Each structure stands twice: as C-alpha cells, then as structure tokens.
A and B are shown apart, each in its own frame.
Chain A
Amino acid sequence: MDLFTGKYAIYIGPSYAAAAIVFAWLTIDTLFRARSWRRKAEALQAQKDGKDPA
C-alpha cells in the first residue's frame, strides 16, 4: 500500500482523509439522530400508555 508517499501524495492523502471524515461524520450523525428520536418517541409512547419509560 502506497498511501502517503510519492510525488502526488499531497493530493491523494487529503482526498481520502476528507472522504473518511465526511463518511464518519455522516454515519455518526445518522446513528445518533436515529437513536435519539427513537428513544424520545418510545418514551412519549410509554407515557401515553401510562407505563414507566425506564
């Protein structure tokens, strides 16, 4: 693997690094958002049904 060496490493390395950052951010944001709304909806549903959300 020739990731960060060579004449053009200055163009290749940052491109893949930026892609890794964007994909990681999208994945983390997506998963946290989904978990947060699911918990909120479940807590409100439990409250409506008269159950303890815990």
Chain B
Amino acid sequence: MFLANPQRFMSFSKWAAPIFGVLAVGMLGIGFTLGFTVPDDYQQGQTVRLLFLHPQVSFVSMMAYAAMGVSAFFGVVFRHLLADAAARAAAPIGAGFTFLALLTGSFWGRPMWGTWWEWTDPRIMSELVLFLFFLGYMALLSAVDDEAKATRAANILAMVGLPNLAVVHFSVYWWNSLHQGSSITTTIMAWFHSLSGGGQADKPGLAPIYVAPFVLSFFGLACLFAALWLVRIRSEVWRRKAGALAVQAAGKA
C-alpha cells in the first residue's frame, strides 16, 4: 500500500489535506447557499433545509466509523503504527459528526414526527450506539496508561462496532421505523438510472431542484472529513516522533 509508508504519507498529506480543505469550503459554500435559496418542499415546507445537512452528517459519521474500524483492523492484524494513528485520528471527528447527526435529526423530527426523540426507533438507536462506540474508543485510549495496550484494546472495540454500520444503514428496511429510507443511496441510484436512459427509477429520489445542493453539501462534508482526518494523522505522527525523541533525550541525560 502506497500510503502505508509514513514518509510517503507525510509528503502526500502535506498537499492533499489543503486541497480537501479548499474543496470542502467551496462545495459547502455553494451547497448551503443553494440549499437556502431553493423553494420550500410541498410537504415538509421550510424544514427541507435540513435535507442539506442531516443526511450528509449522518452518512459522513458512518464513513468516519468505517475509516476508524478498518484502520483499527490493520492496526491489530498488521501492527502498523500509521493504521493505529489513522484510527485514533478518526475518532474525535466521527464523534463530532455523529453528535450532529443525532442533534439535527432531533431538530428535524420534532416538526415532522411530533417528537424530539424516539427510543424505539432503530435508526436513531443504532446511530446512538455508533456515537457511544466513538466515545468508548476515546475513553479506552485515555483510560489505560500503557499506550500500546490502550491502542490495542481500543482498536478491538472499534472492530466490534463495525457490524453496527450495517445496522445503521439497513435499520430502516429491516424494522418499522419513523425514519425514511436512505436519501443518499436512493438519490444516487435515481441519478444513475436517469443517466443510463432508464427513464423513471422505482424510487424517484429527490426533486431535481434539490439534487445539486444535496450532492454538493455531501461531497463538501466528505472533503471536510478527509482534510481533518489527514491533518490529525499527521499530528499523531509528530506526537509519536516527539515521544520517541523525548525518550532518547531522557536516556542521554
């Protein structure tokens, strides 16, 4: 793997992180501006503005967990330090996105479903479990003094949480839920269907006027995650280097 080498990763991320950052600012700026200028939805009214924030942060929270879980797997199986750093770096960003998914979902649920929170809803509960996995991972890292042991234990916890991603995604199909189906998957499938000249898809997805702000804000937030993740991994590499140099300096003294 090209990026498994720390030196190659550092030289790649040095230019990739700012590019992702600029892309994020540009796409989010245009996406959110468009999102606030499109007409209200005939059913949801003005709350359709949350369509350009809530599904995106929810999907990116799952992406962040996948990044953390897969990195944790490589860290455990191959004992690769950069994989450990990548898992550690994804956790706080993922926790932030998952917190926002729960919060914005609650703000959307109140006017649409008549409730801020529903304990029996499988999508809300599985997203809450995702949030708890992020918090548990970070708590485990800071609870054990031996960093190697803490990293290994936290990585195993992250791997245990990976199947929950399938539960989050498919919960709306497997069980009765207040929550609608997957907006992002449905929209992308409908878009591909129309591109391939297949006429109207089985599930029509979003009204065409909402597609551009929806897609731009999704890719904008994905780029924001990528930029923050890369910078945090770089930060981890420097932290380890500083730790190693400090130990060497203490040994000489």
Interface residue from A6, A33, A44 paired with B232 (Cβ < 8 Å): A33
Q: Which residue of B lies closest to A29 (CB)?
A: B92
Kindly report which residue of chain B lies nearest to residue A14, judged by CB atoms. Answer: B107
Q: Is the CB of A11 within 8 A of B111?
A: yes
Please give me the residue from chain B that is nearest to A45 by CB atom: B245
| Cβ–Cβ < 8 Å partners of A48 in chain B | 245, 248-249
Interface of B is mostly: helix
Indicate if the CB atoms of A40 and B46 lie closer than 8 Å.
no
A27–B108 touching, CB < 8 Å: no
**Residues 1-21 of A contacting B (Cβ, < 8 Å):** 1-3, 6-9, 11-12, 14-16, 18-19
**Of A16, A34, A45, which one neighbours B231 at CB under 8 angstroms?**
A34
**Which chain B residues lie closer than 8 Å to A30 at the CB level?**
93, 228, 231-232, 235
Provide the residues of chain A in CB contact with B236, threshold 8 Å. 37
Hey, what's the 0/1 contact readout for B235-253 against A, CB within 8 Å counting as 1? Answer: 1101101100110110000
Stretch of B49-57, B176-184, B188-196 that contacts chain A:
B49-57
- Across the interface, B100 reaches (CB within 8 A) one of A8, A11, A22, A31, namely A22
Q: Which of A3, A8, A27, A45 contacts B45 (CB 8 A)?
A: A8
A15 B245 Cβ-Cβ under 8 A: no
**Chain B: residues with CB nearer than 8 A to chain A?**
32-33, 36-37, 45-47, 49-50, 53-54, 57, 92-93, 96-97, 99-100, 103-104, 107-108, 110-111, 224, 228, 231-232, 234-236, 238-239, 241-242, 245-246, 248-249
Residues on A facing B (Cβ under 8 Å): 1-3, 6-9, 11-12, 14-16, 18-19, 22-23, 25-27, 29-31, 33-34, 37-38, 40-41, 44-45, 47-48
